[in-house]
Every structure is written in structure tokens, then in C-alpha cells.
Amino acid sequence: MEHKIVWEIVEFCVLYQFLTNDYSGYDILIKMRTLFPDINGGMFYSVLRKLHTKGFIEIYFNSHQEKKYKLTKIGESHLIISINNWRHVKEIARKIGVD
């Protein structure tokens, strides 16, 4: 259960990164490692693959032939729902006194 929650949070965080920019697998690994230093780096790549399988992000090659990931329309819709859910959870937490 604990693992599932961590996975969901990491998935949300990774997807959120794509809202503003496109990233390579390495960029995501480095960004996430600074946010979650205790989590195995392999997890971020696994999450990235899962998001790709679900169709939330897509692959393209830039002018330097580097593999990059970008958010898809489905990914964007999913992210909006996730952000709303997150706000809802935060609100409930605030109501019960968790800062």
C-alpha cells in the first residue's frame, strides 16, 4: 500500500514536470533524484515508461536527435484531474489539521 502511494505521488510529480517543458529520461532522473533522494532512480524511469504506455507522454527526437518526452492531450487532461484531486486531498488534510 505504502509503495503504491509513493508510486502514485512520483507518477504525478513526473507528469507535472512536463506541463512546462519537454524532458529526456536523464533530465527526469536528475530532477526527481533531487526531489526524492531516498528513492531508487530506476523507479523514475519505470514511471516514465508507464506514463508513455498509458499515452500520457509521447516520444519525439529533437533537432540534435535526442530522445525527448512531451505531454499529450490525454496526459494533459489526466494531469488536470490529478491536480484537482491533489488540491482536494490537501484541503481535507488542512481541515483535519495537517499542514
Partner 1 sequence: MKYICQKDYLIKLKNDMLLQFSHQDICMVLEDIDQIFKDGSKDGKSEQEICHELGTPTELARMLKQDSHNNKLKVILSIFYILIGIAILRLNFHIYNTFNIFLGCVLVIVVPVYVWNLCGGRILFKLQQNPIVFDWKIKIMVIAMSIFVVMQQAVLILINVSNEIMDVNSKIELLGGMFYMSNAFLLILIGITLYTTYILYQGNLLAVSMLFFVMGGFFSSLSYTSYCARLDKIGGDIYLCLLPYILGGVFSLCFFLYIRKREEK
Residue 78 vs residues 1, 9, 31, 55: alpha-carbon distances, Å: 22, 14, 21, 10
- Under the binding rule (CB under 8 A), the answer on residue 33 touching partner 1 is yes
Interatomic CA distance for residues 98 and 69, integer angstroms = 35
- Does 67 sit near partner 1 (CB under 8 A)? yes
SS3 75: helix
Given a contact cutoff of 8 angstroms between Cβ atoms, the answer to whether 44 and 97 are in contact is: no
Asked if residue 20 binds partner 1 (CB under 8 A), the reply is: no
Cα–Cα distance, 17 to 8 (Å, whole number): 14
Please say which residue, 16 or 36, places its beta carbon nearer to partner 1.
36
Q: Which of residues 41-60 bind partner 1 (CB under 8 A)?
A: 41-43, 45-46, 49-50, 53
Question: Measured from the CB atom, is 35 or 92 closer to partner 1?
Answer: 35
Does residue 12 bind partner 1 (CB under 8 A)? no
What is the smallest separation between the CB atom of 36 and partner 1, expressed in angstroms? 12
Q: How many CB atoms lie within 10 A of CB 89?
A: 10
Residues of this chain that interact with partner 1 (CB under 8 A) are 24-27, 29-30, 33, 40-43, 45-46, 49-50, 53, 66-67
